[in-house]
Structure 1
Amino acid sequence: MLKAQYTERGPVPQAVIQAVPFDRPVLAPGQALVAVLAAPINPSDVLTLTGQYGMLPPLPAVGGSEGVGRVVELGPDTQGPAVGQTVLLPAGCGTWATHVVVPAARLLPLPAGADPKQLAMLTVNPPTASLLLSDFADLQPGDWVIQNGANSGVGSYVVQLAKLRGFKTVSIVRRESAVAGVKAQGGDVVLVDGDDLAERVKAATGGAAIKLGIDAVGGKATMRLAATLAESAAIVNYGALSGEPCIVSPRELVFRDVTLKGFWLARWFRTTPQPKQLALLTELAGLIATGKLSTPIQATYDVSQIKEAVAAAAAGERQGKILIVPTEG
């Protein structure tokens, strides 16, 4: 059994984490031993290793915030998913490992026969995309949404969920090589960011009123996105790929009544009743299991290759997610 552990944080994320062996644990009542089938490396995971994320676990810690597994054993007098059941692991339980010990009551059974690699990405990006589309504007079928960072994990789910809900999307990327991939996901209009973005968006949409902007980049990209929106529309920021604070001009905020809001999924999980959380995750799991929702995967790594995996996830120019897929278990 292996786990990817770090005892410090530093500017080079792959330098602080390593695979370490551990013995098979003895379970207490209420616990379950789960063999990890797949666990992604998200941008938030990389920022956690560098110490830049908004919520940091105490050290030492095991990396990985989401994933799926198969129940191997239940503790004494423990009720939970049956041994052999594929389950969604609790958020933040340290999923970059061959096995994890978790409370059995927090395991969510998943559809049998679905691709575990796609299900492994259920907890973070799909609900983020779904909530970005539902909680910040009253969108109706036929309405337009614009987003940047559209080739990201969240971006791909925004495109797919928008199409399932009847919305039209303008997807903004930062390099020409990302255009084809977003179009393949179903993007209606895909453009490379630039100073004349508002004019190009207007031409591509026929001057349609865009009610919602979704910003993953920050910096001046936020202002370019805001300039494409209809009056009194909202722009919601959920990331800072540029490493810079959001910039929005008084023209947009004052004269055009554009509002800038923020979204953090961790806060949503903390403040939302569990039945509502489970309902959303169950709905999204069904879409993934039936192939209606997916995201590209660039490469998979074993836990023993954690340094290489984190380096690949932290690098630019990726065409998909990096996943930890343990060979054991």
Structure 2
Amino acid sequence: MLKAQYKVRGKIPQDVIEAVEFEVPELAEDEALVELIASPINPSDVLTLTGDYGILPPLPAIGGNEGVGKIVKLGGKGPALGQTVMLPVGIGTWSTHMVCKTAQLIPVPNEADPKQLAMMTINPPTALLMLEEFVDLKPGDWVIQNAANSGVGSYLIQLAKIKGLKTINVVRRESAVEGVKALGADVVLVDGPKLAKEVASATGDNLPKLAIDAIGGAATDRLAASVAMGGTLVNYGLMSGEPCQVSATSFVFRDVTLKGFWLARWFRNATPEKQMAVFGQITKYIVEGKLQTKIHAEYPVSEIKHAVAAAAEGGRDGKILVTG
């Protein structure tokens, strides 16, 4: 049995993590042994390894924050052996096997694609909640986002379409345009100084009420200039490594509001009923085939260094998965 462990953090994320052997302890009556099926590597995982994420676990730690597995042994009562379950968030999911409290395991449909279910805990609810929590959008309204070819971006396009919303999707390179269009995007634009004019032309001046920013820096300002009067701009990441920039013109003369979204904070404040409603909705869409994202490559836990290196590279078309 292997776990992907790191004892230090550093600038090159794959250098600080390694697969180490371990033995599973005896199970208590309220515990289960879960075998990993798949766990994604998200940008936040890479930033955690470099020490640049907003919240960091104590060291030593095991990488990975979400995924699915199947129950292979029970200490007492619990879900049936072989049942596919969501892994508890933040337990260190890049491990061939995990000991989990049975009360924390949420069964998911065995007939659904487990690799798509493995990616449902972080990116899909982030996209869904940003569409629902900030602006009262109606079918036919426009939403604009950058980093549209990211994991969150791909889910946002699909969820917006389910809700009858139209999306303007901003990417940073021409080579990403066709892939985003294939997801069902209404409009795809390459970021640049003319973005606001291109958005106005594409929407017939029915400008977006909501903008979603994952990049920060000057890219935030270009989104702010592209939304409607009184529009809301929501930031959830800083892929540029720079603080959000918004000109006084957008704040003072166009009454644009800049807000932040962090899924971990939402989890802390949301009731269990609200959380289950969100995950129930996402699970339903995945089972129905309405919600999915591309997988770029899969690596076993034994190849965690290669997996992290691949996830840290730019220009990928899909997620990197860690598998058992």
Superposition TM-score, scaled by structure 2 size: 0.99
How do residues 73-112 of structure 1 correspond to structure 2 at under 5 angstroms? 73-76=73-76, 78=77, 80-112=78-110
Contact 1:111–1:286, Cα closer than 8 Å, also in 2: no
Partner of 1:249: 247
1:70 counterpart residue number: 70
Q: CA deviation at 1:238?
A: 0.1
Q: Is the 2:196–2:225 contact (alpha carbons within 8 Å) kept by the matching residues of 1?
A: yes
SS of 1:257 mapped into structure 2: coil
Residue matched to 1:37: 37
Given that 1:32 and 1:102 are in contact with CA atoms closer than 8 Å, whether structure 2 keeps it comes out as yes
Q: Cα offset for 1:25?
A: 2.4
User: How many Å separate the matches in 1 of 2:281 and 2:101?
Assistant: 23
Cα-to-partner distance string for 1:195-251 (whole Å, 9 max, x where unaligned): 010011111122112100000000000000010100111000000010000000111
Q: Does 1:293 align with 2:284?
A: no
> Residue 24 of structure 1: CA displacement?
2.7
Aligned residue in 2 for 1:260:
258
Listed one character per residue, the Cα deviations across residues 240-272 of structure 1 (whole Å, up to 9, x for unaligned) are 010000000111111111000000001111111
Work out the CA distance in 1 between the residues paired with 2:244 and 2:48. Answer: 21
Partners in 1 of 2:296 and 2:123 — Cα distance? Answer: 16
Instruction: Give, in angstroms, the shift of residue 282 of structure 1.
Output: 1.5
- For 2:263 and 2:192, locate their aligned partners in 1 and report how far apart those are by CA, in whole Å: 29
SS in 1 for 2:229: coil
- The secondary structure found in structure 2 opposite 1:185 is coil
Separation of aligned partners in 2, 1:257 and 1:103: 48
Q: What do the CA deviations read for 1:40-67 (whole angstroms, capped 9, x no partner)?
A: 0000000000111111111111100000
Provide TM-score, normalisation by structure 1.
0.97
Q: Are the counterparts in 2 of residues 148 and 217 from structure 1 also a CA contact under 8 Å? A: yes
For structure 2, which runs of at least 5 residues remain unmatched after alignment?
none
Segments of 5+ residues of structure 1 without an aligned counterpart are none
Give the match for residue 220 of structure 2. 222
Q: Which of 230, 233, 255 does residue 232 from structure 1 map onto?
A: 230
Percent pairwise identity: 64
**Aligned partner letter, 1:184:** A
Matches within 5 A, 1:128-147: 128-147=126-145
SS at match of 2:189: strand
2:280 paired residue number: 282
Instruction: Give the letter for the 1:302 counterpart.
Output: P
Q: 1:49 matched to which residue of 2? A: 49
- 1:158 maps to what in 2? 156
- In the alignment, the residues of structure 2 paired with residue 259 and residue 37 of structure 1 have an alpha-carbon distance, to the nearest angstrom, of 41
CA distance in 2, matches of 1:103, 1:128: 25
1:322 maps to which residue?
320
CA distance in 2, matches of 1:81, 1:167: 38
Q: Is the 8 A contact 1:218 1:247 kept in 2?
A: yes
Q: 1:270 aligns with which of 263, 268, 271?
A: 268
In structure 2, C-alpha distance between the alignment counterparts of 1:324 and 1:249, rounded to whole Å: 41
Structure 1 Cα separation of the partners of residues 230 and 307 of structure 2: 43
Matched position secondary structure for 2:310: helix
Query: More displaced, 94-103 or 304-313?
Result: 94-103
The alignment partner of 2:154 has SS state of helix
User: 2:150 and 2:25 mapped to 1: Cα distance?
Assistant: 37
Q: Which runs of 4+ in 1 moved over 3 A?
A: none
Q: 2-side partners of 1:285 and 1:83: how far apart?
A: 21
Instruction: State the alpha-carbon separation in 2 of the partners of residues 250 and 135 from structure 1.
Output: 25
